[in-house]
Amino acid sequence: MKDSWFTGSGELISTDFMFEIIDDYISRGGKIFVGTDSQLSNISCIFATAICLHGAKGSQGGRYFFKKKNKKNSSYRVLRHRILQEVKHSIDVSFELLEKYPDADIEVHVDIGQTPRSATRVFVDTVSGWLSGVGFECRIKPDSWASSSIADCHTK
């Protein structure tokens, strides 16, 4: 994981220390939740990816880490391209985690919904099939809190 990671409070954290925390969390049976969200501006698109730790035995509450990428690419104005890029970021991070923790239970949260009012509903089958095909459990709105609540906070 070459990018800079930050704690939920915005402090830079070394990858080694982040992995120590994840090691401990996994050793207590914790599941990892990964989600990415994006925010489009006039000149670029900010992507934020979160690794969330919640629900290990003996822990209360949770913690998370995030990284941000600012990409200048006008193609992100197309919703399909932006959503698929969000999913790709989450898959990339999830695979990096699996390399280090082959037995980790990882769930990917995607900021798409299936209500009739949701413009992203047309991507549900594609995205859930993609994630299932590469071996990850997929959650969409309203159950995709790692992307729609956590990562979303860091796209602004």
Model-level pTM?
0.95
Domain boundaries, the chain: 5-154
Per residue in 129-147, pLDDT (tens digit) is: 999 999 999 999 999 999 9
Could you tell me the CA-to-CA distances from 128 to 28, 55, 144 in Å, in that order? Answer: 28, 23, 12
CATH of 5-154, one of 3.30.420, 3.30.1360, 3.20.20, 3.30.70: 3.30.420
Please tell me what DSSP assigns to residue 7: E
Question: What is the reported pLDDT for 56?
Answer: 82
Does pLDDT of 1 surpass 70?
A: no
Q: By the 8 A CB rule, do 89 and 36 touch?
A: yes
Task: Tell me the per-residue pLDDT of 35-56, one tens digit each, with 9 for 90 and over.
Answer: 999 999 988 999 999 999 998 8
CA distance 99 to 95: 6
pLDDT tens, 72-90?
988 899 999 999 999 999 9
